A = this chain, B = another copy of it.
């Protein structure tokens, strides 16, 4: 398409969108700027306009207009992505779903809930509080559930409850031509045709726009025990995790924080933890089973240089502890004001976790960058938050160097470049190394479902 035709198409699209949405279409610079940025180090790329949709049918109408004019559409939830997912690298329309925040139907007896895509994870759990149920997937940020599905997010509970992949029963989505599909049912399992639910989960807005989700819920456990276990060494802490997982202990959460992360969390979340390698753990079950799990874990930890656990006996202490863990990224950023975070996200088989972490620590020792490490280590997933100034070429090159080494090591160990954040803009270069000819299959699917390439262009595959 010529530049003139392109420009004319965009103008026609904006005119039609404005007629459809009125004041809910904005071209104000501040709004566009806020929708071209996420919480990562990636450069802001502003959309031409921002649409605030309120229903699935409206999303479909918007999509039909954009399809008719080859206008890119970038779905936007809470803007908490860490890989530049929302940036409008080819301009176009940012489609803000945050006003689609209705909780449509709680089926307590079936342990499921249907929500609009703009509901955040905290809003859902606040709403559910009186039902005795909860939704376990908890990335650090208070992301929208639509965004969490689109990036295949997980969090601290994944070791016990799975990720978004395992916890979405069905989706409503608007496809590139404006058609509306509903994938899945409320049945817990099905063999009826291709798994479009799982295809859309993790597709990062490049195959369709998720507008509603049916999610699995869980009963709030009868008993919960959370605690902090300081270790003499990172290796000891990691080995304790490995043994815990290998022994089949059904730990609900098991998170590592290195001394630098503890220091950052102490400062940001006003904790007073010893600045040593530390595991945050939690057990769910009946009173008896939680006591049994805690005892077994204590024995494993002691065998690897772990101190006695400090248990958070009150609910508010537990909340404070996990709130601090969820804010670890913000704590790290506050640790070196002015720097941004290149948040790495490798995930490896549990037996190779010690190797992956110690290799990364050795790389870091050769570097001038500071990088706290935290991790959902029960899954083999950890983050090194490389603190750097992306406008400083020396910082950027060094962070990139360390990150590349980390991913190459993870792939060599049988792992993945991203456990839960997605490819976005930042990990495109690793996709081919990880998937080889599988990338061609992904491209063929993208081409079939979005032949114009207007759904979140420039993500996952680049260009």
Q: Which residues of A contact B (CB under 8 A)?
A: 107, 109-112, 151-154, 158, 162-163, 165-166, 175, 179-183, 185-196, 198-199, 201-203, 207, 218-219, 221, 242, 245-248, 285-286, 288-289, 292, 345, 347-351, 379-381, 410-411, 414-423, 427, 430-431, 434-442, 444-449, 460
Contacts and interface: CB of A to CB of B under 8 A. Distances in A.
Contacts of A153: 191
8 contacts: A152-B190, A187-B379, A189-B347, A189-B379, A190-B418, A191-B420, A191-B422, A192-B422
Copy number of this protein in the oligomer?
Answer: 2
Nearest to A214: B414
Nearest to A199: B199
Q: Tell which of A179, A189, A288 has the most Cβ of chain B within 10 Å.
A: A189
Nearest to A110: B349
B187 A347 contact: yes
A36 to B, nearest CB: 22
Given A192-B417, A194-B199, A414-B187, A350 B110 contact: yes
A171 to B, nearest CB: 10
A195 B191 contact: no
Contacts of A193: 202, 423, 431, 434-435, 438-439, 442, 460
Given A109-B242, A187-B415, A191-B345, 6 more contacts: A110-B351, A179-B440, A180-B437, A185-B415, A187-B349, A445-B448
A163 B434 CA distance: 26
A192 B416 contact: yes
A183 B418 CA distance: 14
Contact of A181 (B199, B422, B437): B437
A434 B194 contact: no
A193 B162 CA distance: 18
B202 A195 contact: yes
B246 A111 contact: yes
Contacts of A191: 151-153, 202, 345, 416, 418-423
Nearest to A180: B437
A438 B348 contact: no
B420 A348 contact: no
Contacts of A292: 286, 288-289
A219 B248 contact: yes
B162 A166 contact: yes
Contact of A448 (B247, B350, B447): B447
A152 to B, nearest CB: 4
A423 B192 contact: yes
B416 A185 contact: yes
Q: Tell which of A110, A188, A219, A245 has the most Cβ of chain B within 10 Å.
A: A188
Nearest to A197: B198
